[in-house]
């Protein structure tokens, strides 16, 4: 379960329906071009929290059908609706997903006892493994080391997707739980997280930038920090350009430049403008047009 995982984008048509053909193309691009170790399906990048339960299930089905057993699959099933989370956990497990993940319950100010009950209810309902999805800047949920320790007492909770900038907590977690999986969740901080000993990374930009992500990860593991830093610099230039232009719209537009039917974003996300698409084309030409150059940055 270690390595580089793309947080999978989902293609939608202009009316907001799932574009299954485009979704399969994105999956294939991640496998065949980005050479990722796995896909994280149903996360923020997949616009998950704007989808119905049936739509989430269909995405899980299409991705599994396309991937078969070529790479690892993690299904993000978390929801403020605990019944839905359990239903999705059972569905993804029956499909053969390698592990589940669940975002910490958000919006309401849940206490830790409630959060622990949420995770244990989900994972104890299935014969599968759970990866906590900790993303405090979006959920408002900040758990401390002892709270993670309580969750990790359940052997079925095998790790965490750590999308936070608290690298002191990350270092403490790595030292205290050497047997648990820790995935870096911030693409722009991947080098720093790898130096601290994460087992892999899960990222939105890996849908287009997976080759560089692997270079950073592997070079850092080999102790070649200066070389990894140069690639992180290029990666962060790209990320800065993407964020200034519109995150998901831009990644989809870059994929379109590569012949992938990445489609539209789900409303209320805005549709990309001609200017945004022109900027994305320029990014493609700058960062990706010559794939060979990515191997010699």
Instruction: For the chain, report the end-to-end CA distance as a whole number of angstroms.
Output: 28
Query: Which of 209, 156, 213 has its CA nearest to residue 184?
Result: 213
55 marked as part of a ligand binding site: no
204 marked as part of a ligand binding site: yes
Strands (E), the chain: 3-7, 38-41, 72-76, 99-103, 130-134, 157-162, 181-184, 200-203
Catalytic residue among 5, 40, 119, 133: 133
Contact at 8 Å (CB) between 272 and 257? Answer: no
Whether 56 sits among the annotated catalytic residues: the reply is no
Whether 161 sits among the annotated catalytic residues: the reply is yes
Catalytic residue among 56, 64, 129, 161: 161
Contact at 8 Å (CB) between 133 and 163? Answer: yes
42 marked as part of a ligand binding site: no
Can you tell me the distance from the alpha carbon of 295 to that of 195, in angstroms, rounded to the nearest whole number? 21
205 marked as part of a ligand binding site: no
135 marked as part of a ligand binding site: no
Contact at 8 Å (CB) between 11 and 19? Answer: yes
Can you tell me the distance from the alpha carbon of 174 to that of 294, in angstroms, rounded to the nearest whole number? 31
Can you tell me the distance from the alpha carbon of 195 to that of 218, in angstroms, rounded to the nearest whole number? 11
Can you tell me the distance from the alpha carbon of 30 to that of 46, in angstroms, rounded to the nearest whole number? 14
185 marked as part of a ligand binding site: yes
Binding-site residues = 44-45, 163, 185, 187-188, 202, 204
Catalytic residues: 133, 161
Binding-site residues for pyruvate = 45, 202
Binding-site residues for aceneuramate = 44-45, 163, 185, 187-188, 204
């Amino acid at each position: 379960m270690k390595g580089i995982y793309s947080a999978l984008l989902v293609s939608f048509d202009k009316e907001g329906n799932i574009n299954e053909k485009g979704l399969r193309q994105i999956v294939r691009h991640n496998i065949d071009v980005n050479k990722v170790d796995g896909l994280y399906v149903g996360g923020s990048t997949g616009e998950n929290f704007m989808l119905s339960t049936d739509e989430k299930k269909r995405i899980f089905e299409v991705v599994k059908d396309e991937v078969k057993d070529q790479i690892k699959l993690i299904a993000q099933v978390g929801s403020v609706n605990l019944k839905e989370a359990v239903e999705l956990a059972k569905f993804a497990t029956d499909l053969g997903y390698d592990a589940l993940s669940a975002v910490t319950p958000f919006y309401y100010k849940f206490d830790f006892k409630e959060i622990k009950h949420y995770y244990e209810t989900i994972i104890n309902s299935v014969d599968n493994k759970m990866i906590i999805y900790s993303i405090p800047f979006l959920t408002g949920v900040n758990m401390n080391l002892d709270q993670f320790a309580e969750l990790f007492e359940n052997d079925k909770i095998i790790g965490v997707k750590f999308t936070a900038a608290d690298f002191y907590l990350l270092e403490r977690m790595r030292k205290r739980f050497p047997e648990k999986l820790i995935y870096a969740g911030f693409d722009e901080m991947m080098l720093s997280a790898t130096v601290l000993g994460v087992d892999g990374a899960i990222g939105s930009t890996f849908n287009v930038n997976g080759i560089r992500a692997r270079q950073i990860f592997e070079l850092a593991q080999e102790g070649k920090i200066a070389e990894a830093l140069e690639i992180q610099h290029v990666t962060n230039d790209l990320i800065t350009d993407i964020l200034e232009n519109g995150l998901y719209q831009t990644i989809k537009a870059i994929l379109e430049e590569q012949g992938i039917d990445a489609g539209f974003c789900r409303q209320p996300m805005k549709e990309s403008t001609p200017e945004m698409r022109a900027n994305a084309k320029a990014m493609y030409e700058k960062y990706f047009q010559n794939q060979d150059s990515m191997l010699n940055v």
